A and B are shown apart, each in its own frame.
Chain A
């Protein structure tokens, strides 16, 4: 049994969802306990939610550094291991090495960025928790994940804000 319980309220109207969040804040629920689920991106702050902070920009830099090193090691290592002069060029020829190192850098940056996106999005998520399939049809979901004692109040707040339906999270797992 989990110590937390979740409940989701479904709204058809953005304004109603926004007032639900206002009401939850007034009722003393803090930012980490409620969340808005939408089937389409809205301008930031539409529902009065806080701006999500992320550190995505670190990932491409780390990836680029790794890719650069791999590229450098591969190009210089392989040529030094089998030093065959071709085309009259030096064994460690910088222009061709630059090309392959550049590709390695970009590949590293992109792969790490993608990993970063997935992780920063808090994915993969094993259990869906409070969710409803109608969210991708245009409904807006407001979920509250809190302790067992407080989840009843949350249900009331959501209902009072004009939810079309309010249900418990684990019913949907």
Chain B
């Protein structure tokens, strides 16, 4: 990092534990508001269970609407956390240090939020446990051939893996909280959670190895999860616009795009809400901005390829779907907004260093990206269903109801609430990682220049 502030361990502890050992003024009102939204959503779900799915806008032919768009969106967001954490660990990029834990925690809560929507969405939620093979007496087993059985195995694996990843990396920081806590009960709780961590060379070495090994193990899982979610659509031959082999990598690169943007949003919020500007420097925003340019451009190429091959066969049914998506109201307008917000506004802006180094502009552009990416999933799912061939007598429209809107809002509130509650009990920026960054920081003198350097073993 070119601009770096060298801090001592006590200062780091004080800064990064401020949210844990104290409480920022805005925290409680924010938590109360978010809890209200969550309850509103859960209440809507209860109402929906009581009255049936008819209270939503879902019907033939659009049997998948906001809920599934939201599901794919949150699975997408969940991807960046582990990707940033894992890939930046494996490439030993120094700028990862302040970012990894918030990203990993966002992954965990996004996955839980993503799981909300299909769990709420099925017609008979009380039968959901049947997707797991647990009951010998029933004599009925889940259909392994269905993508809807692959989904829980993948998302479940990813959720467990990410949670364990967060926990292992959290252990040294739990020890810091244990040592700083004044209340003996709090001390005992954190002491139990950190399993008696002392900071021996063996323990530190295993932390380093664990980081690399778990990163290497979780990356293949991360690739498989969104591929499997994409195959919910791509293996079907009944809906135009879905049966495309590119869906697996396309969804993943889209997930990385929206997820890395979400991490950038989190970084800006950390600076503004917790005052962590000594740890999240303009260099960090610059680095994530440059990563986003590459990711966004790659995503755009995949999007372009998907369209090329949709039109390649010149089949009437596919072309009429694409005409609906681009030229007909309201999909045409949404398509324009999607292209502008997901690529054409943010990427040219990110070409400018001053934009990349500013927390505000990074926040603004990444919010745009996520709006665009939510719309992208909407445009993949709903238009194809609206004009489902060959059942032209079924052609219909889709109008989301207040129930769906409340439940979607609940997922956003759930993730925000989860992050805020996490930040109250655990430090959002990994303390030992920052300390290690201070230790391995060095300088090299070349002529009159001082060049920042890193100690590598």
Are the C-beta atoms of A40 and B435 separated by less than 8 Å? yes
Please choose the segment from B148-156, B268-276, B329-337, B410-418 that sits at the chain A interface, where 4 or more of its residues have CB less than 8 A away: B148-156
Residue tally, chain B, CB below 8 Å to A: 62
B200→A41 contact, CB < 8 A: no
- Residue-wise interface mask of A (81-107) relative to B, using a CB-CB cutoff of 8 A (1 in contact, 0 not): 110101101000100110110111011
Mind listing 22 A-B residue pairs with CB under 8 Å? Answer: A35-B201, A40-B436, A43-B440, A51-B205, A52-B201, A52-B202, A54-B206, A56-B206, A78-B144, A79-B144, A84-B143, A99-B224, A103-B157, A106-B157, A110-B217, A114-B168, A114-B210, A121-B206, A125-B198, A128-B196, A129-B198, A141-B199
Contacts of B204 in A (CB 8 A): 38, 41-42
From B8-16, B42-50, B59-67, B380-388, give the one contacting chain A: B8-16
In this assembly, does B139 line the interface, its C-beta being within 8 Å of a C-beta of chain A?
yes
Task: Give the docked Cα–Cα distance between A135 and B178 (Å).
Answer: 12
Q: How many A-B residue pairs have CB under 8 A?
A: 188
- B179 and A135 contact, CB distance less than 8 A: yes
The answer to the question of B218 belonging to the interface, with a C-beta cut-off of 8 Å to chain A, is yes
Whole-angstrom distance between the Cβ of B173 and the nearest chain A Cβ: 9
Name the interface residues of A115-133: CB closer than 8 Å to any CB of B: 117-118, 120-129, 131, 133
Which residue of the partner chain B has the closest CB to A130? B198
Q: B201 touching A36 by the CB < 8 A rule?
A: yes
Closest to B9 in A: A138
CB neighbours of A35 from chain B (8 A): 200-201
A146 beta carbon closer than 8 Å to chain B: no
Residues of A39-76 contacting chain B, CB below 8 A: 39-44, 47, 49, 51-52, 54, 56-57, 60, 74-75
Contact B153 A79 (CB under 8 A): no
Please tell me the number of chain A residues within 8 Å of chain B, measured between CB atoms.
63
Q: Which residue of B lies closest to A137 (CB)?
A: B10
Please provide the chain B residues from 179 to 217 with a CB less than 8 Å away from any CB of chain A in the complex. 179-180, 191, 195-210, 213-214, 217
Q: Write the A8-49 contact mask toward B (1 if CB under 8 angstroms, else 0).
A: 000000000000000000000000000111111111100101
**Cβ A54 vs Cβ B202 within 8 A:** yes
- A109: CB under 8 A from chain B? yes
User: A110 touching B160 by the CB < 8 A rule?
Assistant: yes
How far apart sit A100 and B225, CA to CA, in the bound complex (Å)? 11
Task: Choose one: B160, B164, B196, B202; the contact of A126 (CB below 8 Å).
Answer: B196
Q: Flag if A78 contacts B142 (CB, 8 Å).
A: yes
CB within 8 Å for A97 and B139 given contacts A43-B457, A103-B224: no
The answer on a CB contact under 8 Å between B213 and A104 is no
Contact residues in A for B351 (Cβ distance below 8 Å): none
Least distance between A76 CB and chain B CB atoms (Å): 9
Question: Among B154, B171, B191, B199, which residue has its beta carbon within 8 angstroms of that of A38?
Answer: B199
B176 partner residues in chain A, CB cutoff 8 A: 39, 136
Cβ–Cβ < 8 Å partners of A127 in chain B: 196
Given contacts A39-B432, A131-B198, contact A117 B217 (CB under 8 A): no
Top 3 A-B pairs, shortest CB-CB distance = A125-B196, A138-B9, A40-B435
Q: A100 touches which one: B150, B198, B201 (CB < 8 A)?
A: B150
A111 interface hit (Cβ, 8 Å): yes
Instruction: Say yes or no: is A113 at the interface (Cβ < 8 Å to chain B).
Output: yes
Q: In the complex, A104 Cα to B255 Cα: how many Å? A: 23
- In the complex, A129 Cα to B198 Cα: how many Å? 9
Contact (Cβ within 8 A) B195 A125: yes
A123 pairs with B196, CB closer than 8 A: yes
Q: Which residues of A contact B228 (CB under 8 A)?
A: 99
User: Does residue B445 face the partner (Cβ distance < 8 Å to A)?
Assistant: no
Residues of B near A124 (CB, < 8 A) are 195-196
Q: How far is the CA of A15 from the CA of B145 in the complex (A)?
A: 62
Contact flag A110-B199 (CB < 8 Å), given A74-B133, A137-B9: no
B141 in contact with A96 (CB, 8 Å)? no
Name B198's contact: one of A54, A117, A128 (CB within 8 Å): A128
Residue pair A107, B133 in contact (C-beta under 8 Å):
no
| Neighbouring B residues of A37 by C-beta, 8 Å | 198-200
B5 at the interface (CB under 8 A from A): no
Contact of B217 among A93, A103, A106 (CB under 8 A): A106
- In the bound assembly, the distance between CA atoms of A160 and B201 in angstroms comes to 23
Cβ–Cβ contact B145 & A86, under 8 A: yes
Query: Chain A CB within 10 Å — which of B157, B175, B196, B201 has the most?
Result: B201
How far does the alpha carbon of A84 sit from the alpha carbon of B146 in the complex, in Å?
Answer: 12
- Contacts A82-B141, A99-B153: A113 and B198 contacting too (C-beta < 8 A)? no
B160 touches A111 (CB 8 A): yes
B319 at the interface (CB under 8 A from A): no
Give Cα distance in the complex from A75 to B201, angstroms. 43
CB-nearest residue of chain A relative to B219?
Answer: A106
Set of chain A residues within 8 Å of B199, measured between Cβ atoms: 37-39, 135-136, 141
Query: Given A35-B200, A136-B9, A86–B208 Cβ distance below 8 Å?
Result: no
Q: Contact: B10 with A121, CB < 8 Å?
A: no
Contacts of A39 in B (CB 8 A): 9, 176, 199, 432, 435
Q: Which residues of chain B are near A41, meaning CB under 8 Å?
A: 204-205, 207-208, 432, 436, 439
Pairwise interchain contact A137-B13, C-beta atoms closer than 8 A: yes
Q: List B contacts of A40 (CB < 8 A).
A: 9, 432, 435-436, 438-439
Q: A100-B153, A123-B196, A133-B180 are in contact. List 7 more A-B contacts (CB 8 A).
A: A38-B204, A52-B205, A82-B141, A86-B145, A96-B149, A110-B157, A114-B164
Chain B min CB distance to A105 (Å):
10
